Amino acid sequence: MNKPLRRISLFCGLLVLALLIRTNWLQYVQAEELSTRKENRRVQIAQYATERGNIIVKGKPITGSVATNNSDFEFKRTYEEGPLWAPVTGYASQAFGATQLESLEDGILTGNDDRLFFDRTVGMFTGEKKQGGNVITTLNPDAQRAAFKQLGKNKGAVAAIDPRTGAILALVSTPSYDPSSFAGNSKDDEKAWVSLKDAEDKNLVNRALRETYPPGSTFKVVTAAAALEHGVVTDINAPTDTPEPYILPGTKTPMVNHATGCEKAPLNEAMRVSCNSVFANLGNKVTRDKMVETAEKFGFNNDKIDIPVRAFASVYDKKMSPDGNALSSIGQFNTAATPLQMAMVTAAIANDGKLMKPYMVDQLTFNLDLIEKHEPQEMSRPLSAANAQKLQEMMVNVVENGTGSPAKINNTTVGGKTGTAQHGEGNKKRPYAWFISYAENPDKSSPVAVAVVIEDSGADRENISGGGLAAPVAKAVMEAVLKGQR
């Protein structure tokens, strides 16, 4: 071969090599990046080329699909009672993507999950139309509807858990939205999306998981748990050494009590009437580091609580001064919690000190085949069974004889704690109304623990209280769960 031909052959060989390298780079290194780019419509077209599988609540689908006209997307997502279930499903929109279960379980719902490879392969030979799998949730429809109805026009959230397993029974956020209103890609869908995206009420935000609030006096159950676990209190009916007024450590600032009879009040009585001074004093005696230790066992400062939707981390400050720790011990200062977090706290107490990992998806199925089943898992042991039972006694006292009386249920033992959390500069804004509670079966096991927060009810400031506003919501949820198991 002469010299020019050799040069041409070498050049062509280099071109082929470069082409092979580039092809493999695109297929294996950049594949995921390219497939997820918003400019790549092929992925979206394929995503909506077939009917999605459904999200199921107690045997019934709360989602569906409908054929579209004049669009390269063949099917559009639909929702049954969209505003009721939006905090559970999230949304799947042709124009604006997907969130929550619609996003996290997209592989199963579209039929593209790797675990369905064999079924897809068989379908290619049999000519069977591609279909998606189903996501079966743990939700209790009666509890969900009770929470949604009771919240009404209030801005707030509810999280309810089965303490025995960690299964989420209700997850409500109001004001809500209808995911069907922007599931397509028309001008009407865009208009609905823009109005929601910019809404002052933040309808698209799942307040039960993705908003943190000062928990106020509901956090006192955590402080009580810490005091019992670290030996600061052994007898819940013995007087404490709390003076009146109690001066915040390192300051000249007195702690304000909204209750009477708090001087040297025993822990049980302090919980019943919600003495700020007693719990600030106990938090200081426990010390910041041990308060942090107990709070973290309940789930605070954990940014990886996935149900499978990830919840925002609830916070107990690790670096605050003693006076900050005293204030945090009554649920103020830098302390912040999601409704899910406070439901977890309540569930652990109701379950004799064992905190089960919260979860919302029970099974993933395809046709009649079980793809995955969730097994309940223990998350932590924030307190001993003996101390949990002391806390149960105190919480029952709150409902039977204290501020939580609106949560009473006939012929049922109910434990609870009210909370009214101040917020805003100088605490000038309307306070948040909280209530946490659990109900017992005759065998002393608890089928439901609830946390309710009402962010804005429109009520006058002096009429806002956890017992008055939030407790009736929790009662309705507990009654729905109890009725369903009878």
The whole-number pLDDT of residue 463 equals 41
Of 114 and 282, the structure prediction assigns the larger pLDDT to: 282
Which of 387, 397, 433, 383 shows the shortest CA–CA distance to 265?
397
The whole-number pLDDT of residue 73 equals 78
The whole-number pLDDT of residue 426 equals 47
* Pure H helices in 216-374: 220-229, 267-273, 276-286, 288-298, 322-328, 339-350
Q: pLDDT tens digits for 215-235? A: 999 999 999 999 999 999 999
pLDDT-based confidence at residue 422 (cuts at 50, 70, 90) = low
d(C-alpha 198, C-alpha 202), whole Å: 7
217 as an active site residue: the answer is yes
Range among 5-14, 224-233, 458-467 rated most confident: 224-233
Coil/strand/helix, residue 78: strand
What is the value of pTM for the model shown? 0.89
The whole-number pLDDT of residue 128 equals 67
Which of 270, 269, 265, 271 shows the shortest CA–CA distance to 239?
265
Whether the predicted pLDDT of 428 surpasses 60: no
The whole-number pLDDT of residue 374 equals 96
Domain ranges of the chain: 213-484
The whole-number pLDDT of residue 486 equals 64
Which of 334, 319, 332 shows the shortest CA–CA distance to 255?
332
DSSP string, 227-248: HHHTTS-S-TTSPP---SSPBP
The whole-number pLDDT of residue 15 equals 85
The whole-number pLDDT of residue 460 equals 43
Query: What top-level class would CATH report for the domain 213-484?
Result: alpha beta
In the chain, what percentage of residues exceed pLDDT 90?
A: 75
Whether the predicted pLDDT of 124 surpasses 80: no
The whole-number pLDDT of residue 40 equals 64
The whole-number pLDDT of residue 164 equals 98
CB 366 within 8 A of CB 319: no
Token pair in block for residue 423:
């917020």
Which of 209, 215, 281 shows the shortest CA–CA distance to 243?
281
Indicate which residue of 181, 217, 446, 457 is catalytic: 217
Whether the predicted pLDDT of 126 surpasses 80: no
Q: pLDDT tens digits for 328-367? A: 999 999 999 999 999 999 999 999 999 999 999 999 999 8
Q: pLDDT tens digits for 287-338? A: 999 999 999 999 999 999 999 999 999 999 999 999 999 999 999 999 999 9
The whole-number average pLDDT for the span 400-428 is 84
d(C-alpha 269, C-alpha 265), whole Å: 6
